[in-house]
């Protein structure tokens, strides 16, 4: 029997998700033995036309990482959807928008203005910025259009499963691949990770505050972090209460608070709002001035609470600036 065809593709991402497949170590050999790759930009030389040449649904499964922020990414996502039986949103950026999704606090003009004009390392005397079309004497040069807003993969195409994480951990990747190859699949729309919060399995949970005790919010570089005590108990923002379990507490074990890359559990629609609520309930102040003071000590609440999930949030983007 022919091996099932598999696509691996990147959109607005850092490349770490594609690397995570390589990080499967010797398990990668099992994967290579079982499947035939049809596109895999980080590792193999296939082109868009190779995908176009396939029949509809000929690819058994496409793992797509990255959010969607250009015309080309939208096109590739739609092409892969058409050619695939199953599409998996692979990693935090495809699932929730990820850190590139923080660009939704800006728009294209603001981003281009900084990146191509204002950034300290840029010299651009002719004021050149990317344009979808540029006429030169040999003809027209084109670039994909850059959107004002980053989208999650499921805001652009129909998605069957979600593999969360920045990047997804090897055990969950292997489990997902095995489930797909054996046809032993959970209901469509499932996030392929446990449906409980990170605090549930965190070894620091015994010291997690149950009542209002925080008088001040501090940042990780301002304190010597206790390696055993719950971060919240140390006045450090940890997204654990609003984040799905399954990563193996990678950050916590490295003595860093959770930033929420697994997204929320199924019972929560907006990860940032859920965390805000959890944080407000452990702040120890009833006096309005004191509350203002503690609130002021949180430098960038939206940026931290939606570190990975801004495009998937209810508000999706900053509203008082131009966006198409």
Binding other proteins (rule: CB under 8 A), the pick from 191, 198, 202, 236 is: 191
- Residues 70 and 56: their CA atoms lie apart, in Å, by 24
Nearest distance in Å: CB 310, ligand SF4:
15
Residues recorded for the chain? 324
- Residues 21 and 91: their CA atoms lie apart, in Å, by 11
Helix segments in 114-205, DSSP class H:
170-182
Phi, psi of 37 (to 5 degrees): -75, 140
Contacts for 295-298 with beta carbons within 8 Å, 24 or more apart? Answer: 297/216, 297/217, 297/218, 298/217, 298/237
User: By Cβ distance, which residue is nearest to ligand SF4?
Assistant: 240
Nearer to other proteins, 22 or 280 (CB): 280
Q: Which residues bind ligand SF4 (CB under 6 A)?
A: 166, 198-199, 202, 204-205, 208, 230-232, 238, 240-241, 243, 247, 249-252, 258-262
- Residues 241 and 187: their CA atoms lie apart, in Å, by 26
62 binds, among ligand SF4, other proteins, none (CB under 5 to 8 A by kind): none
**Does residue number 151 form part of the binding site for other proteins (CB under 8 A)?**
yes
**Does residue number 300 form part of the binding site for other proteins (CB under 8 A)?**
yes
Nearest distance in Å: CB 283, other proteins:
5
- Residues 261 and 169: their CA atoms lie apart, in Å, by 11
Q: Which two tokens stand for residue 47?
A: 């082109």
Query: Strand pairing of 161-163 and 146-151?
Result: unpaired
286 binds, among ligand SF4, other proteins, none (CB under 5 to 8 A by kind): other proteins
Interface residues with other proteins (CB under 8 A) are 68, 74, 105, 148-149, 151-152, 154-158, 186-191, 195, 266-270, 272-274, 276-277, 279-281, 283, 285-286, 288, 291-292, 295, 298, 300-303, 305, 312-321, 323-324
């Amino acid at each position: 029997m022919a091996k099932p065809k598999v696509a691996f593709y990147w959109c607005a991402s850092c490349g770490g998700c594609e690397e995570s497949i390589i990080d499967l170590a010797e398990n990668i050999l099992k994967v290579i033995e079982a499947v035939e790759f049809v596109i895999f930009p980080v590792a193999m030389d296939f082109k868009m036309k190779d995908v176009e040449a396939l029949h509809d649904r000929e690819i058994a499964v496409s793992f797509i990482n990255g959010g969607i922020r250009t015309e080309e990414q939208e096109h590739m996502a739609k092409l892969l959807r058409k050619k695939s039986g199953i599409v998996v949103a692979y990693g935090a950026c495809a699932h929730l928008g990820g850190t590139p999704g923080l660009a939704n606090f800006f728009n294209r003009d603001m981003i281009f203005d900084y990146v191509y004009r204002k950034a300290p390392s840029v010299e651009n005397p002719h004021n050149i910025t990317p344009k979808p079309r540029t006429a030169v004497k040999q003809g027209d040069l084109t670039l994909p259009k850059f959107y004002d807003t980053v989208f999650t993969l499921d805001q652009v195409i129909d998605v069957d499963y979600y593999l969360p994480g920045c990047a997804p951990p090897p055990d969950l990747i292997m489990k997902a691949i095995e489930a797909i190859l054996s046809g032993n699949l959970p209901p469509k729309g499932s996030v392929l990770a446990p449906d409980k919060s990170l605090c549930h399995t965190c070894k620091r949970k015994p010291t997690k505050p149950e009542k209002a005790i925080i008088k001040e919010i501090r940042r990780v570089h301002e304190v010597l972090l206790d390696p055993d005590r719950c971060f919240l108990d140390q006045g450090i923002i940890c997204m654990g209460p609003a984040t799905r379990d399954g990563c193996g507490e990678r950050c916590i074990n490295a003595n860093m608070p959770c930033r929420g890359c697994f997204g929320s559990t199924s019972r929560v629609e907006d990860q940032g709002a859920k965390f805000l609520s959890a944080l407000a309930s452990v702040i120890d102040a009833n006096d309005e001035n004191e509350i203002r003071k503690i609130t002021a000590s949180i430098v960038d609440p939206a940026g931290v609470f939606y570190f990975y999930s801004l495009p998937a949030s209810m508000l999706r983007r900053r509203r008082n600036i131009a966006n198409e």
